[in-house]
């Protein structure tokens, strides 16, 4: 695929996915909204475009980095949640961003096999969900989003995808992968919920995101394993099926075990 066609696809596919996730979050509330954006709506397209160019091997290595970056997302959620117990949304977001970047810097020092990363992430996510404050205090709040909210998300996330996929060959697959999972959409959902409804609905977004990240981990594990040998179509089809299965299991099992 040529550069022009690839850019055109980025400008069509990414807005569709982000817009769909945003509308679903408005329809079903903060916790489900966070859970839904755990699906790799941003990082999935990044991996897909990297598979098109520079290629499947590069994208497979980046998938391991993206999968490892799930731990950075968990750090983001925990930092936001705990700072939000005493501070407003701005300090909470700054602390969460700092936690994400610190975790990314540490994870960039090592590269582990995909299966090791996947197993470690399952443990990290369970511990992170358990460590979230205020379990059981989630409330449903009707958020009055401004009309520019979803268009702004689409523009920001699409720009992020275009810039990161363009810079990926310079960054290398591991660092590009680690940077990819910064939770832009979840951060927007959490800060709006926090500003308008208080701490509880913001925690709902973040707890939902953590539950949704099991699906992201499975998605990128499958990509890392299948992309080099099976090609783009088979790898992404299998990854989507695994992610959808884990997405359903994570919410039901998480609630049954008291993780949410």
User: Would the pLDDT of 92 be above 90?
Assistant: yes
d(CA 219, CA 222): 5
Where would I find the H helices in 84-198?
89-107, 114-131, 149-171, 173-179, 184-197
The reported pLDDT for the residue numbered 3 is: 47
Per DSSP, the three-state class of 53 is: coil
- Which one is predicted more confidently, 51 or 163? 51
- Which one is predicted more confidently, 71 or 160? 71
Six-digit token string for 256: 């049954």
User: Would the pLDDT of 146 be above 90?
Assistant: no
User: Would the pLDDT of 167 be above 50?
Assistant: yes
User: Would the pLDDT of 259 be above 50?
Assistant: no
The reported pLDDT for the residue numbered 209 is: 86
Domain extent at residue 127: 3-256
The domain tally of the chain equals: 1
132 neighbors 76 (Cβ within 8 angstroms): no
The residue with tokens 């009707």 is 142
Alpha-carbon distances of 156 from 63, 82, 134, 160, 202, rounded to whole Å: 22, 26, 31, 6, 21
């Amino acid at each position: 695929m040529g550069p022009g066609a690839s850019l055109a696809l980025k400008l069509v596919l990414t807005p569709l996915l982000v817009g769909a996730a945003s509308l679903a979050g408005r329809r079903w509330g903060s916790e489900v909204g966070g859970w839904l954006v755990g699906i790799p709506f941003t990082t999935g397209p990044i991996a897909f475009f990297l598979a098109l160019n520079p290629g499947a091997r590069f994208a497979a290595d980046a998938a391991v980095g993206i999968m490892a970056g799930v731990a950075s997302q968990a750090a983001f959620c925990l930092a936001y949640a705990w700072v939000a117990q005493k501070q407003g949304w701005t300090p909470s977001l700054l602390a969460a961003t700092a936690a994400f970047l610190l975790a990314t810097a540490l994870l960039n020092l090592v590269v582990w096999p995909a299966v090791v990363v996947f197993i470690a992430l399952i443990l990290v996510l369970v511990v992170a969900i358990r460590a979230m404050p205020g379990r059981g205090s989630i409330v449903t709040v009707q958020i009055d989003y401004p009309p520019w909210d979803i268009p702004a998300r689409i523009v920001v996330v699409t720009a992020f995808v275009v810039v990161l996929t363009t810079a990926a060959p310079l960054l290398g697959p591991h660092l590009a992968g680690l940077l990819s999972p910064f939770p832009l959409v979840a951060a927007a959902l959490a800060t709006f919920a926090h500003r308008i409804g208080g701490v509880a609905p913001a925690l709902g977004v973040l707890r939902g995101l953590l539950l949704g990240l099991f699906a992201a981990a499975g998605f990128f594990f499958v990509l890392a394993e299948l992309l080099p040998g099976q090609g783009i179509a088979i790898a992404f089809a299998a990854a989507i099926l695994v992610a959808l299965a884990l997405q359903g299991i994570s919410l039901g099992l998480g609630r049954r075990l008291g993780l949410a």
